[in-house]
Structure 1
Amino acid sequence: MKYRHVIFIVILILLIDQTLKFWIKTHMFMQQEFIIFPNWFRIHFIENEGMAYGLKFGGDFGKIILTLFRLFAVVIGFVYMKKLVKEKFNTGLLVCGSLILAGAAGNLIDSMFYGLIFSDSVGYEVAKFMPGGGGYGTFLHGRVVDMLYFPIYEGYLPKWIPFKGGDYFVFFRPVFNIADAAISVGVITILLFQKRFFGNHLQPKTAGQPVTQDHVIE
């Protein structure tokens, strides 16, 4: 796998992520919802100020710090991916790293620019792209657009369940986006297959040791 393949994966994920976000932002108002498959998949438009899956971090100052950290992480990520390609790491690791990098870059674009290029989504008003009066925020103060919602189960828990019995429960509650999904898939896959992905590079190499197929990256 070559570095240009990493760039291709990143660009592909970014195009899918940003195209969906642009459509949501310019066609839906906040909290609007479309049911795709009853009882388990909906398009539900929300925005968040912070991290993946709607988590928050430290108010306005924390927002700036988080965005700058994302920018730093993306820059370092591209450099590190180039190093992994050069050292011929497992193709699966390179694909997962590309997914994580693309996800981080996708949410970074929202945080850096969406406040500048979109009007606010308030009430039943759909946001406008490049509004005449300027966007809803400033540079680094954009909000991340989320829309994928999978409430696979909604209902009251049986009363015999300790602590939460009888409470209303939703699984899976978080609303997320393509970038979040790419990061999650990349991280989880690396954790599951870390021995395969890193094995050949963690083992001490001896002179004349044959190179295995997993070590060779076309």
Structure 2
Amino acid sequence: MLRLKHYLIIFGLFFLDQLSKFFASTHLSFYDAFVIIPSAFSFQLVHNYGAAYGIFQNQRLFLTLVGLVVVVGSIIFQKMIIQSKLSKYGLVFLLGGALGNLVDRIRLGYVVDFIDIRIFPVFNFADIFIDIAIGLFVLELVYGFKNKKDA
């Protein structure tokens, strides 16, 4: 089960995501990128009306419902999801990221993206947190499978 410290981390991740999106929305442009490393890394404001990699464009209701199911389902079924510290922190990062993008979608009708590393579509901190969660869940599957196989 998640404890108070885990919920505080979730809130911290959510807050970092929302603060960075507020900063991006107030200081970045749709047209002019703030270049850090030419042709490799920049910040540029994008309103994402779809999901990762541009799928499900203009499917606000569907994507909002998916986000709600992920958040509510993760909380309800956390006993089944959490098998170790890896999966516990996977759930923490998943909730922090999913909440960040869900709040954008409900409040704005789109997700604010602004990190551009050229080899991927533009993304945000919530997306990074979700990717970390997926990585932790994959490690849990591999590590857990290895331990069960050795037993």
- Distance in 2 (CA, whole Å) between partners of 1:104 and 1:4 is 19
Query: Quick one: which of 71, 90, 97 aligns to 2:91?
Result: 97
Report what 2:28 is aligned to: 28
Given that 1:44 and 1:147 are in contact with CA atoms closer than 8 Å, whether structure 2 keeps it comes out as yes
Match of 1:189 in 2: 136
Over aligned residue pairs, what C-alpha RMSD do you find? 2.5
**Residues 84 and 198 of structure 1: is their aligned pair in 2 closer, same or farther, counting only changes over 3 Å?**
farther
8 Å contact kept, 1:100–1:182: yes
Kept in 1: contact 2:45–2:112 (CA 8 A):
yes
Match of 1:70 in 2: 67
TM-score by length of 2: 0.84
2:13 counterpart residue number: 13
Given the superposition, is the C-alpha separation of residues 197 and 100 from structure 1 closer, same or farther in structure 2, using an over 3 Å criterion?
farther
Alignment partner of 2:45: what SS? strand
Deviation readout 1:78-117 (Å, 9 max, x if unpaired): 2223x258x7x31111111211121111100000012xxx
What TM-score results when the alignment is normalised by the length of structure 1?
0.61
Q: Residues 123-166 of structure 1, C-alpha deviation per residue, up to 9 Å, x if partnerless?
A: xxxxxxxxxxxxxxxxxxx1101011113xxxxxxxxxxxxxxx
Does the C-alpha gap of structure 1 residues 65 and 39 become closer, same or farther in structure 2, counting only changes over 3 Å? closer
**Consecutive unaligned residues in structure 1, runs of 5 or more:** 115-141, 152-171, 204-218
Which residue is 2:103 aligned to?
109
Matched to 1:7, the amino acid is Y
Show the 5 A alignment for 1:149-160: 149-151=116-118
* Aligned length, in residue pairs: 150
CA distance in 1: counterparts of 2:117 and 2:129, whole angstroms: 16
Structure 1 counterpart of 2:110: 143
> Of the two, which has the highest radius of gyration?
1
- Work out whether residues 35 and 42 of structure 2, in 8 Å CA contact, stay in contact via their aligned partners in 1: yes
Match of 1:79 in 2: 76
Q: Distance in 2 between matches of 1:101 and 1:2?
A: 11
Q: CA deviation at 1:58?
A: 5.7
Higher helix share: 2
Secondary structure class of the residue paired with 1:175: coil
Displacement of 1:72 in angstroms is: 2.2
Relative to structure 1, is the Cα distance of residues 173 and 91 closer, same or farther in structure 2, using a 3 angstrom cutoff? closer
What amino acid maps onto 1:10 in structure 2? Answer: I
Pairwise CA distance, 1:50: 1.3
Percent identity between the aligned chains? 30
The residue matched to 1:105 in structure 2 has which SS? helix
